[in-house]
Chain A
Amino acid sequence: QKEVEQDPGPLSVPEGAIVSLNCTYSNSAFQYFMWYRQYSRKGPELLMYTYSSGNKEDGRFTAQVDKSSKYISLFIRDSQPSDSATYLCATSRPGNTPLVFGKGTRLSVIA
């Protein structure tokens, strides 16, 4: 079992839809949680990060962490064609340690 599991999709939604992306992780030692967005032939870029359980909102994006169930979510409201990318969840232990990534979910937002 991989430490971080993520459904690879692909996921296709119409413009304006609410998108829900999810990951599960297995190690309770993970304390930091991140979402990266990766456009085709580009490097991953940090979208959101959070340390604790609960929600964090940034514009149309909401990251949610439930440490009790080891579940990580990213919600995108009013999705746009420019949101079409691969979304990678990542987590790490404390202390500036390496990120462990899910495999990524490919999202297409259709105009």
Chain B
Amino acid sequence: DARVTQTPRHKVTEMGQEVTMRCQPILGHNTVFWYRQTMMQGLELLAYFRNRAPLDDSGMPKDRFSAEMPDATLATLKIQPSEPRDSAVYFCASGHDSYGYTFGSGTRLTVV
């Protein structure tokens, strides 16, 4: 089964440190999404790319978050500097049509 691979699975870091999360989308999928999941807000869109071009990153705090897709096999989400309120599960998803997307297992981030 094709799957979306996210690394690391877990990350504990101190406030102020840089955090980088990585995602390998499914080969052939041209659209990649980053979502954040918290108990309070549920799943929220942070950013997404189509054919590696950023289409919307309005869900991200611009001063500290950045998302890139350096090639078709890698998407990255960086937080610098990290804050305790960034603690959440970050999901990457990929797809190629409107009939649902495949999610990775997520990166569980804890900022202390």
Tally of chain B residues near chain A (CB < 8 A): 26
User: For residue A92, which residue of chain B has the nearest CB?
Assistant: B98
Q: In the complex, are the beta carbons of B105 and A42 less than 8 A apart? A: yes
B42 touches A104 (CB 8 A): yes
B95 touches A (CB below 8 Å):
yes
Known: A44-B43, A101-B43. A96 touches B95 (CB 8 A): yes
Interfacial chain A residues near B99, Cβ < 8 Å: 32, 34, 49, 51
Whether A43 lies near B95 (C-beta < 8 A) is: no
Q: Does A17 contact B (CB under 8 A)?
A: no
Q: Can you list 9 pairs linking A and B with CB atoms under 8 Å apart?
A: A34-B99, A41-B108, A43-B91, A45-B103, A88-B42, A96-B97, A96-B98, A99-B93, A104-B42
Contact present for A43 and B106 (CB under 8 Å) = yes
Nearest chain B CB to A90's CB is how many angstroms away?
A: 8
Inter-chain contacts of B87 with A (CB < 8 A): none
B93-112 contacts to A (CB < 8 Å): 93, 95-106, 108
